[in-house]
Structure 1
Amino acid sequence: MAEAQEDEKVGGFLGWIERTGNKLPDPVVIFFYLALVLIAISVVCALAGLTALHPTQVNADGNPLVVMSQSLLSGENIAKFWVEMTKTFSHFHPLGYVLVVMLGAGVAERSGLFGAAMRAALGNAPKVILTPMVALIAMIANHAADAAYVVMIPLAGIMFHAAGRHPIAGIAAAFAGVSGGFSANILPGQLDVLLFGITEIAVEGSQLDPSWTMNVAGNWWFIFVLTFIYLPVIWYVTDKIIEPRLAKTPFSNTASADESVQDPSAKLSSNEKKGLNRAGLALLLVVGVWLVMTFGPGTPLIDEPACPAAVEAEGQCAAVQRLAPFFKSLVGGFMVLFLGAGWAYGSAVGTVKNHRDLVSMMAEGMRDMGYYLVLAFAAAHFVALFNWSNLGLIFAIHGAAGIEASGLPLPIAMGLIVLLSATLNLFVGSASAKWALLAPVLVPMLMLLGVSPEGATAIYRVGDGATNIITPLMVYFPLVLVFARRWSKDFGLGSLTAMMIPYSVWMLVTGLLLVVLWVFLGLDLGPAAPIAYSLPGN
């Protein structure tokens, strides 16, 4: 035990991060402390008369509306806090979005679909392109949430071992894909639902653009490209940097026989193959239904009345307005997709025998969301307090003016925001908690600078993922260490951190360059989601 404890001691900057981070309270409690600080700041700002001119709204005289800071200890705000507590929590947009998606994802995970799909993909990977296959599947496996860490990472180690390569290199490549590439994927998923729910609250709280509509696919093109930016990075770092260094690290051949790790080289059973085929058909069926509802008779998911032909001919109707019902329906679409595919797979392999099993899996998925409910309660009230104080909008207006006055090019400013979220990620691992802290200021500030809410979300995501793999505070970091120690008992916390640093640095650099280039070129981030933005009336 003493040797294990000594093994996990890390000096230098990483040691400082670990020691400092371990002293931080749980994110739920951090929100409580920050709320107290926010209350104190609101009182000081209200007494000092801190104000800003609203960029879009005017008063009765036609002059710009003066946004005044509000004390959170005023009688009105104290009453609002207690009277609207239930509403504040239940109307927290990410809460409903995530719970709906998880109703289906819980079935897909517990039926065994996610695990079987990852095993099938890895088992068929040619040895020549094993590393990029592991990296790509790991990034796609982000949709499986916890299952991606628990199944994908140890399977990658065994797959590398079966190919005659160092198993810890496989673990590193999978960890980099699942966690470092947390925001990269070929399709939108649960993370998009979660983050855009918080973005929606930030836009509503700023009152800058009441017409803005949440688009769950608003980062689709960006995360798709990011996937294939990270893919060669993980491939190069694994094969040219990490595996040569691991050549000096001996490993045991007994780990692959560990009963808790399923060997991906073992062939899928006939039932598992049948289940995957059924799941594929279910996926196509759900996609087909959504296509019919979007383009079929009546087009219920297209808001045609919002765009009469005459108005559209004049160019006054944005595509996002017509597609707003479709984008909002994607939350329910993901739920039905996961539910249908999981049910189809489970019925073939026997994990779902009847409707009771299905309901039980959905209930278990909700039980796993217990901590998130507590976190959402704290985050919802912190964000609400920020909005009631008007400080988020005031700071955003003055911050945007400061950036404009500095003459700092917009792509560079975006890059600095990436670095900010990457640094904060070393201490606060939860993606939703960090975005709930940053969004009330960053989203309206960037809107004032001409960057859309979708752009603000994309920029945040790059920094949030890259440093996941080097902070011991990431919830799955100790689990990955356990996976590595199955192959090498002397592999410690410092070893894992040092191994993942090259991935983190290169993913942060390439992600940062992509953000700068994307902003410079002004490319759309997703369907009907431009990065350029102008306030209503401008």
Structure 2
Amino acid sequence: MKKEKKGLFQRFLDVVERVGNKLPDPFILFIGLAVFMIIVSYIFSLFDATVVHPGNGEELPIQNLLSGEGLQFILTSMLDNFTGFAPLGLVLVMMLGIGLAEKVGLLDYAIRKTILNSPPILVTYTVVFMGILGNLASDAAVVLVPPLAAMVFYKIGRHPLAGLAAGFAGAGAGFTANLFIAGTDALLSGISTEAAAIIDDTLIVTPVDNWYFNIVSVFVLTIVGSLVTTKFVEPRLGTYKGDAVEEEKTEELPNAGKGFLNAVIAGLSYIALIVIVIFLPNSPLTNEDGGIVPSPFLEGIIPIILFLFIIVGVTFGITVGKIKSSKDVSDYMAESIKDMAGYIVLVFAIAQFIAYFTWSNLGTWVAVNGAEFLESIEFTGIGLIIGYIIFTALMNFVITSGSAKWAIEAPIFIPMFMQLGYHPAFTQVAYRVADSSTNIVTPLFPYMVIILSFIQKYDKKASIGTYISLMLPYSITFLITWIILILIFFFTGIPYGPGITTHL
């Protein structure tokens, strides 16, 4: 039987898949990078390489990690590198609250009911919107929203694959956007702070530094994703002529509606209390001038958000009977931390790599010399940022883990761009839009197989080509839209978060 000749794009995807599959697990990858840093520091030390610190003008030698002093640093700092790694505490604390709300069923109920009860005229916008907001529940939205959206589209006489694609686009490609502060904000800002310390150890990137940009992104991407669905994807799919798919039955929690209402009331009461405290004279949450940029409120935003999710999670859990004693609360929190075990292991390796990069002064050397090179070729403006976005978007075809990729890129690009005058939180925005946009089209995306199985429920002949053709329009459109949005923020000076603009 003659084999069908593959197209150029399909052959490209095959190469990407082969190369990506040969990469080691992220933990081993960072162990390898740490070893690489040790070797490079030794080579640089042979040439007595130095770099002038841009902050204090001090001439710094490239320190050899294979020297006696270097070996002492490796051994004595290993635990501190791990336990003192900023993202570790931020993410685990956030997951205590968000994980509790997820385990008692609050987030699942909110997503499910919002989509199922959406008016037909607004269902596409609702699906994309809830897919984007679903990243509060981390990767759970990728599994929950697409099949639910497909079922709703089928019920109202529209092509179910269009609904599935819209839901997956929101949950996958729109992953970085949200109206709320999510675990991703804590994770990335922590890594950004560690990277910024290479140049300025007083600069802190907080979880709210991209908040304004994320809020705008939610509404822009909801509109764009919906238009792509109705104007391009759905007409291409045509009328669905497949057999009816049996609806999956989900167990309804008793008093779930009442529990959700109680959780909303409890959450709003808590928010009202915080607002009242902020506006009190000489409030402990504001700065000396009565403002909130900067302020203890922003510095303590993670605990404040933690208490919000605990309050709404406990309220919902008690109402529906999932929480019957105080032990249940701690048990659900423990379950959410168990889900983070892989992340904790990865952080150990990431922390060592970044610590070696910083201690050896290689991070400063790369930042200073890289910035000088870019200035010498006069490539320092918005074109540089767009180039970086495209580079990261392509990197997604090799390394799909957002945290792993940022842990590699941040120590290089944040200090380098700081030398060019760009704020670390701005560099972080550029990274986030690139990383999110191409999530859904890389063959290495871990949820691709799951989504493909959902697609095959409605189209038995569907393959990876079907999957790519469905998701590629969203990926390209989201990336272009986000680049335009960054250009608007860049040229108008709109802050990306409280007090955060493009430049330092």
Count how many residue pairs are aligned between Structure 1 and Structure 2.
497
Q: Tell me by how many angstroms 1:193 deviates.
A: 0.6
Shift of the alpha carbon at 1:257?
Answer: 2.3
Equivalent position of 1:214 in the other structure: 205
Whether 1:257 and 2:257 are equivalent positions in the alignment is no
User: Could you report, residue by residue, the CA deviation over 1:97-116 in whole angstroms, capped at 9, with x for unpaired residues?
Assistant: 00001111111111110111
Other structure's SS at 1:458 match: helix
8 Å contact kept, 2:127–2:166: yes
SS in 2 for 1:55: coil
SS at match of 2:102: helix
Quote how far apart the aligned CAs of 1:226 are.
Answer: 1.8
Mark the CA change 1:29 to 1:270 in structure 2 (over 3 Å): closer, same or farther. closer
- Asked if the contact 1:131–1:235 (Cα under 8 Å) also holds between the matched residues in 2, the reply is yes
| Amino acid paired to 1:35 | A
Work out whether 1:98 is the aligned partner of 2:91.
yes
1:119 to 112, 132, 137: 112
Counterpart CA distance in 2 for 1:65 and 1:230 is: 46
Report the CA distance between 1:408 and its aligned residue: 2.4
3-state DSSP of counterpart to 2:54: strand
Change (3 A) 1:72 1:293: farther
The C-alpha deviation readout for 1:431-476, integer Å capped at 9, x for no partner, is: 1111111111211111111111111111110101001000121222
Q: 2:69 aligns with which of 70, 73, 76?
A: 76
Please name the residue that 1:490 is paired with.
461
Q: After the TM superposition, which residues 125-204 of structure 1 pair with which residues of structure 2 at under 5 Å, given as runs?
A: 125-204=118-197
Q: Show structure 1 runs of 5+ residues with no match.
A: 1-6, 58-63, 310-317, 534-538
Q: Tell me the alpha carbon deviations over residues 70-106 of structure 1, each in whole angstroms, 9 at most, x when there is no partner.
A: 2211211211111121111000110000000111111
Q: Work out whether residues 189 and 334 of structure 1, in 8 Å CA contact, stay in contact via their aligned partners in 2.
A: no
2:190, 2:206 within 8 Å by CA — same for their partners in 1? Answer: no
Contact 1:203 1:209 in 2 (8 A): yes
Q: In 2, are the aligned partners of 1:415 and 1:516 still within 8 Å (CA)?
A: no
The separation in 2 between residues aligned to 1:73 and 1:290, in whole angstroms, is: 52
Aligned 8 A contact 2:242 2:459 in 1: yes
Following superposition, the deviation at residue 253 of structure 1 comes to 1.1
Q: Secondary structure at the match of 1:158?
A: helix
The aligned counterpart of 2:42 is 43
Partners of 1:285 and 1:30 in 2: CA distance: 46
Are 2:425 and 1:434 aligned? Answer: no
Match of 2:345 among 374, 387, 404: 374
The range that moved more, 286-295 or 185-194, is 286-295
Give 3-state SS (helix, strand or coil) of 2:130's partner. Answer: helix
Partner SS state of residue 67, structure 1: strand
User: TM (normalized to structure 1)?
Assistant: 0.88
C-alpha displacement of 1:384: 0.6
Matches of 2:277 and 2:196, distance apart in 1: 29
- Separation of aligned partners in 1, 2:111 and 2:91: 23
Separation in 1 of the partners of 2:253 and 2:445? 35
DSSP 3-state at the match of 1:142: helix
Write the mapping of 1:286-325 to structure 2, written as runs, cut at 5 A: 286-296=270-280, 298-304=282-288, 320=293, 322-323=294-295, 325=296
Question: What is the identity, as a one-letter code, of the residue corresponding to 2:72?
Answer: A
Q: How does 1:221-236 map to 2 (within 5 A)?
A: 221-236=212-227
Counterpart in the other structure of 2:371: 400
CA contact (8 A) 1:94 1:197 kept: yes
Q: What is the deviation of 1:291?
A: 2.4
Measured after TM superposition, the shift of residue 338 of structure 1 is 1.6
2:52 match: secondary structure? strand
Matched letter for residue 334 of structure 2 = A
> Once structures 1 and 2 are overlaid, which stretch shifts more, 295-304 or 166-175?
295-304
3-state SS in 2 of match to 1:427: coil
Contact 1:415 1:515 in 2 (8 A): no
Between the aligned partners of 1:391 and 1:210, the Cα distance in structure 2 is 16
Tell me by how many angstroms 1:125 deviates: 1.2
- Residue in structure 1 matched with residue 3 of structure 2 by the alignment: none
Q: 1:244 aligns with which of 232, 235, 243?
A: 235
Q: Summarize the alignment of residues 324-363 of structure 1 with structure 2, pairs less than 5 Å apart.
A: 325-363=296-334
Question: Secondary structure, in 3 states, of the residue corresponding to 2:12?
Answer: helix
Q: Secondary structure at the match of 1:465?
A: helix
Preserved contact between residue 103 and residue 335 of structure 1 (Cα < 8 Å)? yes
Equivalent residue letter for 1:480: I
Residue 67 of structure 1: CA displacement?
2.6
* Aligned with 1:85 (options 57, 78, 82): 78
The letter of the residue matching 2:211 is W
Equivalent of 2:419 in 444, 448, 462: 448
- Mean alpha-carbon deviation: is it higher for 368-377 or for 11-20? 11-20
Aligned to 1:499: 470
Letter in 1 for 2:207: V
**Superposition deviation, residue 487 in structure 1:** 1.9
**Separation of aligned partners in 1, 2:453 and 2:445:** 14
One-letter identity of the residue aligned with 1:115: D
Q: Is the 8 A contact 2:158 2:240 kept in 1?
A: no
1:250: Cα distance to partner?
4.6
Query: 1:471 corresponds to which residue?
Result: 442
SS of 1:457's equivalent in the other structure is helix
Is the contact between residue 191 and residue 406 of structure 2 (CA under 8 Å) also seen in structure 1? yes
Task: Measure how far apart 1:415 and its partner are.
Answer: 0.6
Say if 2:99 and 2:137, in contact at 8 Å, map to a contact too.
Answer: no
C-alpha distance in 1 between matches for 2:460 and 2:314: 40
Q: Deviations for 1:115-170, whole angstroms, at most 9, x for unmatched residues?
A: 11011211221111211111111111111113212222211111111111111111
Write the letter of the residue equivalent to 1:412: G
Query: Structure 2-normalised TM-score?
Result: 0.94
Structure 1 residues 521 and 102: alpha-carbon distance in aligned structure 2, compared to 1, 3 A threshold:
same
1:248 Cα deviation after fit: 7.1
1:414 shift after superposition: 0.7
Secondary structure (helix, strand or coil) at the match of 1:70 reads coil
Alignment partners' CA distance in 1, 2:351 and 2:276: 36
Give a deviation string over 1:329-372, Cα, whole Å, max 9, x none.
11112221222111111111112222122111111011111101
CA shift in 2, pair 1:359/1:297, >3 Å:
farther
Report the counterpart of residue 277 of structure 1 in structure 2.
261
C-alpha separation in 2, matches of 1:14 and 1:252: 31
Contact in 2 for aligned 1:31/1:379 (Cα 8 Å): yes
Shift of the 23–74 alpha-carbon distance from structure 1 to 2, 3 Å rule, reads: same
- Aligned residue number for residue 55 of structure 2: 56
1:286-322 CA-to-partner distances (Å, cap 9, x unmatched) read 3233324433355222242xx6x9xxxxxxxx964x4
Structure-2 separation of matches of 1:180 and 1:427:
16
- Distance in 1 (alpha carbons) for counterparts of 2:270 and 2:87: 23
Unaligned runs of 5+ in 2: 1-5
- Bigger drift between 439-448 and 281-290 goes to 281-290
Deviation at 1:269, TM superposition (A): 7.2
Secondary structure, aligned partner of 2:81: helix
